[in-house]
Amino acid sequence: MRKESLSFPELELWYAPDGILAAHLKENTSTGTNRPGWPLPWPGPSTKTGWRSSKPGPEPAKSLAYLLPALLWALRNKERVVISTNTINLQEQLTKKDIPFLREHGGYDFRAVLVKGRSNYLCKRKLETVESEPALLKDETTSELEAIIAWSRKSAEGSRGDLSFIPRDELWEEVCCEADQCGRVKCPHYGDCFFLHCPAGRRRRGTCWWSTTPF
């Protein structure tokens, strides 16, 4: 099926000097000295595989310059779009500012899902092993281990980012999910595995994904 590209007028509605972005963003929307407006982004995918890559930047002007057309293209063609980030700061910006901004002022019906790597999730089986044999760890990690155990019993996602502290790398490596150590259907926690059940609905169309590391 042939993919539909975006038209210049519909993008200009957002990026023009008197457009939606200029009207609702607090930041100065100037793209340069005495040059009003926003740089108009690409109109649609142009690669042979149907993907168009874009290098994200930290400022709202840069992120919305690729986020909005990516979203519009995904909705029009009923496809998913993957936005890969390499920093936590940009991830936070997309999650807490840019995505909510587009929902509020665009009126679009879409689902945005944050997709993290496997090692970002807690493995319940490995945690049980460490909990039963705490002598395997260094003494200075004891308090962190106890905090992780308590957190694991009430956490809905089991993501490292949900912890109230940053665990030591050597401790997290002992309890995180790893592909080569995963028992899959043979694991007693297969039915409630944090990694296998997050994020919910990640394969649904009309979804905007973003990950914490580049592909």
* Distance (Å, whole) CA 65 – CA 43: 11
* Distance (Å, whole) CA 118 – CA 197: 11
Give Cα separations from 42 to 39, 46, 57, 89 (angstroms): 10, 9, 16, 25
Task: Give the residue with greater pLDDT, 107 vs 189.
Answer: 189
Confidence tier at 28 by pLDDT (50, 70, 90): very low
pLDDT at 205 over 50: no
Percent of the chain with pLDDT over 90: 24
Short-list 210, 215, 212, CA closest to 113 = 210
Main-chain phi, psi angles of 102, to 5 degrees:
-70, -35
Task: Give the residue with greater pLDDT, 105 vs 62.
Answer: 105
Burial of residue 79 (number of CB atoms within 10 Å: 0-12, 13-18, 19+):
middle
Q: How far is CA 145 from the centre of its chain?
A: 27
Average pLDDT, the chain: 77
pLDDT for res 52: 44
pLDDT at 112 over 90: no
Q: What is the mean pLDDT of residues 39-59?
A: 44
Of 30-44, 115-129, 174-188, where does mean pLDDT reach its minimum? 30-44
Q: Which residues pair with 159 in a beta bridge?
A: 121
pLDDT for res 61: 59
Of 101-105, 141-145, 210-214, where does mean pLDDT reach its minimum? 210-214
207 sits in which H/E element = strand 207-211
At 52, list the tokens.
Answer: 């168009």
pLDDT for res 91: 81
Confidence tier at 27 by pLDDT (50, 70, 90): low
* Distance (Å, whole) CA 158 – CA 209: 19
Q: What is the mean pLDDT of residues 192-215?
A: 58
Count of beta carbons in the 10 Å neighbourhood of residue 60? 18
Of 20-24, 121-125, 136-140, where does mean pLDDT reach its minimum? 136-140
* Distance (Å, whole) CA 153 – CA 147: 10
Task: Give the residue with greater pLDDT, 67 vs 152.
Answer: 152
Answer whether 168's CB lies under 8 Å from 162's CB: no
pLDDT at 151 over 50: yes
Confidence tier at 4 by pLDDT (50, 70, 90): confident
pLDDT for res 209: 54
Give Cα separations from 129 to 106, 125, 126 (angstroms): 48, 6, 5
Whether the bond between 56 and the residue before it is cis, its omega within 30 degrees of 0, is: no
Count of beta carbons in the 10 Å neighbourhood of residue 107? 7
